[in-house]
Amino acid sequence: METNAAGQRTPVLAARRISKSFNGVQVLFSVNFDLQPGEIHALVGENGAGKSTFVKIMSGFEQPSSGEILLDGKPVRLPANGQAEHLGIVIIHQEFNLAEHLTVTESLFLGREITRFGVLDRKRMRAETRRALDLLGSRIDENAMISSLPVADRQMVEIAKAISKDARVIFMDEPTAVLSKEETGVLFEQVRKLRDKGTSFVFVSHKLDEVLELTDRVTVLRDGQWVKTAPTAMLDGESIAQLMVGRELSSLYPAKREPDVDEEIVLSARGITTGFVRDASFDVRKGEVIGFSGLIGSGRTELMEAVAGLRPRHSGEVTIRGVSMSSGDAHAANRAGLAYMTKDRKSKGLLLGSRMAVNLTLQSLDQHGKLGYLSPKSEANALARAMRRFDIRVRDGRVVAGRMSGGNQQKLMLAKVMETEPEIIIIDEPTRGIDVGTKQQIYHFISALARAGKSIVVVSSELQEVIGLCTRVAVMREGRIVGWLEGDEINEQEIMRYSAGLKKMAG
Amino acid sequence: MSVDEGQAAEKPRSLLKEIDLRAVAPFVALALLLVLGALTNPNFIGIDNLANVATRSAFVAIIAVGATFVISSGDLDLSVGSMLAFVASLMILFMNSGAIADPHLMLAAAVAFAIFAGAACGLLNGLVTTLGRIEPFIATLGTMGIYRGLTTWLSQGGAITLRSPEIQNIYRPVYFGSFLGLPIPIVCILVVTLIAAFVLYRTRYGRHVVAVGSNRDVARYSGIAVDRVRTIAFIIQGLCVAIAVLLYVPRLGSTSATTGILWELQAITAVVVGGTALKGGAGRVWGTICGAFILELVGNIMLLSNFISEYLIGTIQGSIIIIAMLVQRSLTRKS
């Protein structure tokens, strides 16, 4: 590798005093950054700290307002729209960019198909795909349709795609958000192998344990400013979190409070069976927070959607405060006081092109006027109240949901669900893709709601979250509830044993 | 490449600017057309000519108001032109049947009958689309053929003409009369648009339409009965067609197999020119009316200027919808 006079290696990619404004709002302030050949560099920061914008600038999808980008020490203007891939700079998006109706091989070679005498060389492309997947230790069939793959496998295909492009710099934006622990392990192993061969990675993640496990150096951004770059070995989770929020984090989880044993049972699900979920039963008492844990694809969301009437059930019974609910009737469940908050805030939770007020009241329009008429004043009051109550921080109340940070979107979604004044709230992945500070706030909202007598079901893939919040935890595996944990049993080892199938409920 | 699209969608943009531009653009275009018209022919800008243009735009304007609902909820109705011909034919045949002797009562019954028939045609479109789970494009392409075919069959290839002179005399003023100095068709446009704007912007149903058009999944997860909202939008479209029929029948007193041909093109063009997003989620009722005026004005200018043969009107309207789509997209990109 090239070295300069001071004996330092030339960074493969570097940023010098990069600033960026959108419509007069500055989101990045003179950020410096350098990426060494063969290093894994973590980029961390709260939501809205400017990570995504920075990644877009460094991969050519946005141009900086000022400052310069150096590739191999030379100033460059990165070509827009992903053309930087030809320079070896590849970005793996948080959201997938795979066309559902293509096969794995077709996806990998989309736009750069190999031809022989002008005809597609399918055989060679299949072989190349197989090689890339094998390199990742993945058993995904190269001829499978993307639509038939679970999310985790799609993520692997994205990564294989990046590898097959012989990238020198790979940006990974929350690559593990949808991966199980095992899959994450496999991914990390491959990332390390590629690093040892000289590939550089920028790893954007909210999961600090993974940052500590995988990366060589960490750069922290806060409110669009560079805060610190340091070798990962010199930091621990607590100190990174403090650098991110700029203050000490008091305990992340509020104290648990268990309701009386003979407190009224407000929600009862008996023998719920859908296409995938088999014979799942559970009860929730008034003021209780219960958790549902399990691997991705273990049927938790499907079960909850069936309970909430968002998907029909083949058999089983749902009773809300003594009233039996008919299958697939979300409206009735809503009226009976049950609200379901989706994990998919961008495609199922919020109208991204609409303002906050429209989103907030969408589920509870009955409250804002008579005979179908909507009172703008009443809606404005509701928005002001919700912004105070859930601490939604935006510069302008007229902003559209799609332009808010993930944390604010999540708070808005919670506020929207709470507008229906539910007694039972099912929250699917309460903190997916949001920063530590907002997470803590959401945990406190959940706890406060439970103290106010609401019953809450938390579905989460983050073990710490169910452990920290819930007084009872169900573990699902392959569509069934395989274990119930209470008190001291609620710990990572126990949950993993059940979800990995090493242990099963007696009977 | 899919990567580009993902990026473009995420790129932050100023919504305020976008709303302003999109909402203002059709009115700017209208103003430009007025100037252009005044330059080509001095008679153009006279009150008489403009009132005449507005009156003639009434059919398409009112149908297009209904189309604004259907398009805002993310659907499309291609059948409106044939539906108008079909409902108008039914209405005339009903009056010709002489079932009620008194001409006033007969007319009242015929009006109720036309409204019912329009709503029923809309309901059919809605049910085929939602219950049948057929793409609205195909579903209403089918009913377009059905309504047109039924009209041709009812008229046996000829014309259906209102026979009773009494009814004709009572009914004529509905198109040719005026109210407070305004031609009644213009009053009709205003009333229909006011009601539609109120429903779309100030009622729960209107909000549901926009939510369903923006993102069906979000609407469903928010407890909105998506299929009902869509079906009602088709019924509103049917009702608007019926209102247009009520104005159409007194004008000529007859229909034929070619009545309302290409009106679906005009109605959808008016909606798109007016700034309503064709992919759903943003309805602009006043923009639609503006779009309908623009279409009629273009025709009028062509007639008065003698530059272009008026037989090319369909070609011009087809071009306008394509240009409007291009303008809409560039407005979205820029801001």
φ/ψ of A486, rounded to 5, equals: -135, 155
Q: How far is CA A409 from CA A176, A349, B102, in A?
A: 21, 9, 64
Confidence check: pLDDT of A237 > 90? no
Average pLDDT in the A458-466 region?
A: 87
A440-451 pLDDT per residue, tens: 889 999 999 999
pLDDT digit string, tens, across residues A15-43: 999 998 876 677 888 999 999 999 999 99
Question: Do residue B204 and residue A366 have CB atoms under 8 angstroms apart?
Answer: yes
Q: For residues B219 and B204, what is the distance between their CA atoms, to the nearest angstrom?
A: 13
Query: Does A262 have pLDDT greater than 90?
Result: no
CB-CB neighbors (< 8 A) of A358 in chain B = 207, 210-211
pLDDT of residue B20: 60
* A147: pLDDT strictly greater than 60: yes
Q: Considering only residues 414 to 453 of chain A, which have any Cβ-Cβ distance to chain B shorter than 8 Å?
A: 416, 420
In angstroms, the separation between the Cα of residue B230 and the nearest Cα of chain A is 17
The pLDDT tens digits of the residues spanning B70-112 come to: 999 999 999 999 999 999 999 999 999 988 889 999 999 999 9
Segment 276-315 of chain A within 8 Å of chain B by CB: 310
Which residues in chain B have Cβ-Cβ distances shorter than 8 Å to A89? Answer: none
Is B332 an 8 Å CB contact of chain A?
Answer: no
pLDDT attached to residue B302? 83
Check pLDDT > 70 for residue A95. Answer: no
- Residue A236's SS3 state is coil
Test B6 with A93 for CB contact under 8 angstroms.
Answer: yes
- Identify which has the larger pLDDT, B277 or A315: A315
Rounded-to-integer distance, Cα B242 and Cα A435, Å: 55
Angle of CA points A302, A299, A187, to nearest 5°: 125
Q: Kindly state the average pLDDT of the residues B6-28.
A: 57
Question: Is the C-alpha dihedral spanning A269, A274, A278, A279 positive or negative?
Answer: positive
Cα B316 to Cα B321: distance, rounded to the nearest angstrom: 9
Residue in A with minimal Cα distance to B7: A61
Sort strands A455-459 and A424-428 into parallel, antiparallel or unpaired: parallel
- What are the tokens at A32? 């410096």
Q: Which chain B residue has its CA at the smallest distance from A366's CA?
A: B204
- Given CB atoms, is B56 within the 8 Å cutoff of chain A? no
At B290 the pLDDT is: 94
Host H or E run for residue A290? strand A289-294
Checking if the pLDDT of A308 tops 80, the result is yes
Between A201-205, A267-271, A361-365, B312-316, the lowest mean confidence (pLDDT) is in: B312-316
For chain A, what is the radius of gyration of the CA atoms?
A: 24
Q: Which residue of A has its CA nearest to B203?
A: A373
Contact A103, A143 (CB under 8 A): yes
Interface contact B14, partner A, CB < 8 A? yes
Q: What is the mean pLDDT of residues B286-293?
A: 94
Quick one: what percent of chain B has pLDDT higher than 70? 93
CA distance A271 to A317: 7
- Beta-carbon separation of A351 and B221 below 8 A: no
- Spatial separation of the C-alpha atoms in residues A256 and A252, rounded to whole Å: 12
- Closest residue in A to B6 (Cα) is A97
Cβ–Cβ < 8 Å for B72, B282: yes
Rg (CA), chain B: 20
| pLDDT, chain A, mean | 86
Question: B329: how many CB neighbours lie within 10 A of its CB?
Answer: 10
pLDDT number for residue B335: 42
Give the phi and the psi of residue A217 in degrees, each rounded to 5. -135, 160
Write down the mean pLDDT value for chain B: 88
Q: Would an 8 Å CB–CB cutoff place B211 in contact with chain A? A: yes
DSSP symbols for B32-79: HHHHHHHHH-TTTTSHHHHHHHHHHTHHHHHHHHHHHHHHHTT-----
Alpha-carbon distance of A440 to A46, in angstroms, equals 12
Nearest to A97 among B3, B204, B223 (CB): B3
Cβ-Cβ contacts under 8 Å, A158 against chain B: none
pLDDT of residue B19: 52
How far is residue B271's CA from residue B288's CA, in Å, rounded to a whole number? 5
Measured between CB atoms, does B15 come within 8 Å of chain A?
Answer: yes
**Are B162 and B253 within 8 A, CB to CB?**
yes
Mutate which of B4, B5, B15 to test chain A, going by most A C-beta atoms within 10 A?
B15
Pairing of strands A424-428, A338-341: parallel
CB contact under 8 A, B218 and A374: no
Q: How far apart are the first and last CA of chain A?
A: 62
Instruction: Please report residues of B whose CB lies closer than 8 A to that of A62.
Output: 11
Edge-to-edge strand order for the sheet containing A289-294? A338-341, A424-428, A455-459, A289-294, A472-477, A480-486
d(CA A91, CA B323): 36
Structure tokens at B104: 């006033």
Chain A, residues 330-349, CB within 8 A of chain B, namely 330-331, 334, 340, 342, 344, 347-349
User: Residue A82: which of B4, B223, B224 has the nearest Cβ?
Assistant: B4
Candidates A23, A93, A351; nearest CB to B218: A351
What per-residue confidence (pLDDT) applies to B3? 35
